[in-house]
Amino acid sequence: MLSKGQNVPLPDDVDRIDVVIGWTESEVEVDASALLLGAGRKVGSDADFVFYNQPESRDGSVRFLGTSATAEGAQARIAIDLSAVPDAVHMVALAGSVGTGTFGELGKLALRVVDAAGLSLAEYVTADATTESAFVFGEIYRRDGEWKVRAVGQGWESGLAGLAKDFGVDVDDAEHETAAAEPEVSTASEREPSARAESVSVADTGIRAEQAPVSDARTAGARRGVRTAKRAPKKPKPMEFKLAELDTWQPARLFSVVGVGAGEEQERRATSALIATMQAVRPFARAVCARMGAPVGAFEGYVEVQYERGESKVIPDAVLKVSRGGRVWTGLLEVKTGNGKLKRDQLESYLDVARKKKYDAVVSLSNDVPASPGELPVEVDRRKLAKVALRHLSWAEVAHEARMLLSHGGIDNELHAWILSEFLRYLDHPRSGATEFVDMGRHWVSVRDAVTAGTLRAGDQKAMAVADTWVSLSRHLALRLTAELGVAVKHVLPRRHRSEPAVRNAAVAERLAADGTFEAVLRIPDTAGDLVVIADVRTNKVRCRTVLDAPNEGSAGRRMSWLLRQLEDAPGDVQVEAVFSERGNEACEHLATVRANPKVLTDGRSGVIVSFSLEQTFPMGNRRSGTAASFIASVTSATDVFYGSVVQPLRGWVPAAPKQPDAAQSDIAVSADV
């Protein structure tokens, strides 16, 4: 852990790193950026400024990978190929900016530098920011042929444009007028790079750069420099089929599940559907490629490509190519569907091929949802990761990106929207094998029965495996809500549990053995309280709970009325607990009872109500997998129902603004002064 001003050298054998800027206490979006600086701490040209509108440096050594939700909250990533950084670049400054609000509203800010396998090399955490809207977190710099990381923690109140200007970037002076006239903000998946003396315009298929020579632009009075303004994509209308004579008529499907078998055939179909959709829908390709660490650029995919490895052949499921300028990023893709599991020897053979061919990454894609971002479902020989990155994606994350684009304005073309919706329809079908999360693992039944019998012990390795699966399920719940609501839903974990999976799993297993329960805490932006999901294996119940502060003024009756007005449409079986200021003084009744007699929670109580706890109980499924009567289906359904009926309508208490004295009192006061 670095402190402000401290530095640490990077390992000599590490050429490729990811810089992760994370934040936890606010839902304000942070945009990451990087500036390639020379000896005078200035950019050599505007092309040395890497950010959402210009996501890659000219040489491809520094790339902006976009922003995404994580179990920790949200993060923005920048990839740096240290071996490709030009000699003239002495330092890469790592910054972040906010379009609205300030960094003081974000709570703790974190800068992490990780290697190709996700192993942390350096970390800097600060909560010193106040009114800044742009912030330099740290620097990657070269000293005597050695790369180092330094924690900086310096802020700007002039935003991204002001920060860029201070480092020598020529910022388009007309951008603020344009932003005012067109107050739209684009998503990271729709952003295209702009070079020096380029302007950006919107086309039907996204955003493109229109180049003009610097001299011509200046003489003609056109814009010059880099634009930092953003625009929002427009959401298209869904494609409609209106000519069917009966409701039972079904339109033809782009990706048919008819005749899908299992095993290799299922994997080939899913792979082909994914690659074809990525090639047709550029924003979707960008979103998925960003999770793989690929740059923004033209995407192509090829299936069943054969490579020689000694006397044998290696055949990955697909080869992924992303071209930008004169550089081509290449990744090998290994796909699993259904219950198929990734194998260490298979991934290592792909890593060997990728290293020999000087490819950039090996990407695994399966139904395994890692408990935390960056975790790999299979451990490999770390020596094979010196030159090639290994990244993992789950089908849940792929579906998450598609739903986000469709539901929240990432697609502005009707044909693209239809293709992407057809792909989602295919993934949602059980025959696709691309399930989001439907299996608690082979140890679930024995662990469940041991909990019921009271014989489970925390050190049981089967309990540890089920604990890991529960945390994966918790992250799956956060991903589902993120895609559905269009905001970054956070699966809240203690800091140590995020960085040490063994400690996390041991803690979950210990609680399961002690009281037979799992617990997940989901933090949803703009809600009055966290959504807590508790699965009680002993009672076969799923309990969902949220806690919100009561108004800090008014009588107990007024505070109860404030709550009941917000729960007008909530189910009557919701338990309402009022917590009073006097320690140990609580009262709890069902909502139906409280509606009939609000005083049932306040009569005979001393002190004032300080908070309310709302809880609803649902039946718990016991089966290991499947979509009906399964444990996962019951937890997912309970979470969705409780959020929609209880959490979503709630708003935290906002006190009234201070009142001015009335006109008569003001006149008296003025007369007295005279």
Instruction: Kindly tell me if the per-residue pLDDT of 29 is higher than 50.
Output: yes
Q: Where are the beta strands (DSSP E) in 420-498?
A: 490-491
CATH of residue 384? 3.40.1350
Instruction: Kindly tell me if the per-residue pLDDT of 279 is higher than 90.
Output: yes
Q: In terms of Cα–Cα distance, which of 623, 614, 527, 541 is closest to 579?
A: 614
Judged by average pLDDT, the poorest of 38-42, 270-274, 410-414, 495-499 is: 495-499
Domain boundary among 150, 169, 188: 169
Q: How confident is the model at residue 317 (pLDDT cuts 50, 70, 90)?
A: very high
Domain boundary among 379, 403, 432: 432
Residue 513 lies in a domain: yes
Q: DSSP letter at 190?
A: G
Q: How far apart are CA 628 and CA 617, in angstroms?
A: 18
Verify that 498 and 534 share a domain, yes or no.
Answer: yes
The whole-number pLDDT of residue 27 equals 56
Q: What is the mean pLDDT of residues 415-420?
A: 91
Q: How far apart are CA 612 and CA 601, in angstroms?
A: 11
Q: How far apart are CA 52 and CA 614, in angstroms?
A: 41
Instruction: Kindly tell me if the per-residue pLDDT of 673 is higher than 70.
Output: no
Q: DSSP letter at 249?
A: -
Range of the domain at 95: 7-169
Judged by average pLDDT, the poorest of 194-208, 246-260, 594-608, 620-634 is: 194-208
- For residue 144, how many other CB atoms are within 10 A of its CB? 5
Q: In terms of Cα–Cα distance, which of 611, 462, 592, 639 is closest to 550?
A: 611
pLDDT in tens, 176-186: 444 433 333 33
**For the chain, what is the mean pLDDT?**
81
The whole-number pLDDT of residue 210 equals 31
The whole-number pLDDT of residue 320 equals 96
Judged by average pLDDT, the poorest of 68-77, 105-114, 137-146, 487-496 is: 68-77
Verify that 24 and 153 share a domain, yes or no.
Answer: yes
Instruction: Kindly tell me if the per-residue pLDDT of 253 is higher than 90.
Output: no
Residues 6+ apart with CB under 8 A from 359: 330, 331, 332, 353, 388
Q: How far apart are CA 536 and CA 517, in angstroms?
A: 4
- For residue 472, how many other CB atoms are within 10 A of its CB? 21
**Type of residue found at 640:** D
Q: How far apart are CA 90 and CA 143, in angstroms?
A: 8
Q: How confident is the model at residue 205 (pLDDT cuts 50, 70, 90)?
A: very low
Higher pLDDT, 2 or 362: 362
The residues pairing with 22 across neighbouring beta strands, listed in sequence order, are 75, 110
**Type of residue found at 509:** A
Q: How far is CA 18 from CA 112, 117, 167, 189, 222, in A?
A: 8, 10, 22, 19, 37
What is the four-CA torsion angle of 175, 177, 181, 185, rounded to 10 degrees? 30
Judged by average pLDDT, the poorest of 6-10, 201-205, 527-531 is: 201-205
Residue 535 lies in a domain: yes
The whole-number pLDDT of residue 554 equals 83
The whole-number pLDDT of residue 377 equals 78
Instruction: Kindly tell me if the per-residue pLDDT of 656 is higher than 80.
Output: no
Q: How confident is the model at residue 170 (pLDDT cuts 50, 70, 90)?
A: confident
**3-class DSSP state for residue 498?**
helix
Residue 187 lies in a domain: no
Residues 6+ apart with CB under 8 A from 201: 207, 208, 210
Q: How far apart are CA 200 and CA 206, in angstroms?
A: 11
Q: What is the mean pLDDT of residues 4-16?
A: 86
**Type of residue found at 70:** T
**3-class DSSP state for residue 237?**
coil
The whole-number pLDDT of residue 507 equals 93
Domain boundary among 391, 412, 432: 432
Residue 566 lies in a domain: yes
Verify that 519 and 561 share a domain, yes or no.
Answer: yes
Q: In terms of Cα–Cα distance, which of 507, 508, 518 is closest to 639?
A: 518
The whole-number pLDDT of residue 208 equals 32
Residues 6+ apart with CB under 8 A from 300: 279, 320, 321, 322, 323
Higher pLDDT, 126 or 392: 392
Residue 570 lies in a domain: yes
In contact, 241 and 251? CB cutoff 8 Å: yes
Token duo for residue 4: 């402000």
Token duo for residue 339: 């219950």
Instruction: Kindly tell me if the per-residue pLDDT of 16 is higher than 50.
Output: yes
- For residue 252, how many other CB atoms are within 10 A of its CB? 7
Residue 178 lies in a domain: no
Q: How confident is the model at residue 212 (pLDDT cuts 50, 70, 90)?
A: very low
Phi, psi of 20 (to 5 degrees): -115, 120
Q: How far apart are the first and last CA of the chain?
A: 64
For the chain, counts of helices (H) and of strands (E)? 16, 27
Residue 295 lies in a domain: yes
Judged by average pLDDT, the poorest of 185-194, 358-367, 472-481, 539-548 is: 185-194
- What is the crossing angle of helices 501-515 and 461-485, to 10°? 100
The residues pairing with 92 across neighbouring beta strands, listed in sequence order, are 36, 140
- Structural domain count, the chain: 3
Instruction: Kindly tell me if the per-residue pLDDT of 476 is higher than 90.
Output: no
**3-class DSSP state for residue 655?**
coil
Verify that 568 and 484 share a domain, yes or no.
Answer: yes
Judged by average pLDDT, the poorest of 286-295, 314-323, 414-423 is: 286-295
Of all residues in the chain, the percent with pLDDT exceeding 70 is 83
Q: How far apart are CA 485 and CA 569, in angstroms?
A: 20
Q: How far apart are CA 21 and CA 110, in angstroms?
A: 6
Token duo for residue 589: 């009744």
Q: How far apart are CA 105 and CA 27, in angstroms?
A: 9
Instruction: Kindly tell me if the per-residue pLDDT of 201 is higher than 70.
Output: no
Q: How far is CA 302 from CA 309, 321, 332, in A?
A: 19, 8, 10
Q: How far apart are CA 136 and CA 614, in angstroms?
A: 42
Verify that 474 and 412 share a domain, yes or no.
Answer: no
Segment of 95-109, 509-523, 619-633 carrying the highest mean pLDDT = 509-523
Q: How far apart are CA 178 and CA 231, in angstroms?
A: 10
Instruction: Kindly tell me if the per-residue pLDDT of 500 is higher than 50.
Output: yes
Instruction: Kindly tell me if the per-residue pLDDT of 652 is higher than 50.
Output: yes
Verify that 470 and 612 share a domain, yes or no.
Answer: yes
Verify that 448 and 499 share a domain, yes or no.
Answer: yes
The whole-number pLDDT of residue 364 equals 93
Q: How far apart are CA 156 and CA 161, in angstroms?
A: 10
Burial 20-48, CB ≥16 within 10 A → b, else e: bbbbbebbbbbbbbbbbbeeeeebeebbb
Verify that 424 and 488 share a domain, yes or no.
Answer: no
The residues pairing with 525 across neighbouring beta strands, listed in sequence order, are none
Verify that 407 and 360 share a domain, yes or no.
Answer: yes
CATH of residue 143? 2.60.60.30
Verify that 534 and 554 share a domain, yes or no.
Answer: yes
Verify that 369 and 296 share a domain, yes or no.
Answer: yes
Residue 217 lies in a domain: no
**3-class DSSP state for residue 658?**
coil
Pairing of strands 389-394, 361-366: parallel
Q: How confident is the model at residue 356 (pLDDT cuts 50, 70, 90)?
A: very high
Q: How far apart are CA 352 and CA 611, in angstroms?
A: 58
Instruction: Kindly tell me if the per-residue pLDDT of 610 is higher than 50.
Output: yes
In contact, 357 and 335? CB cutoff 8 Å: no
Verify that 118 and 139 share a domain, yes or no.
Answer: yes
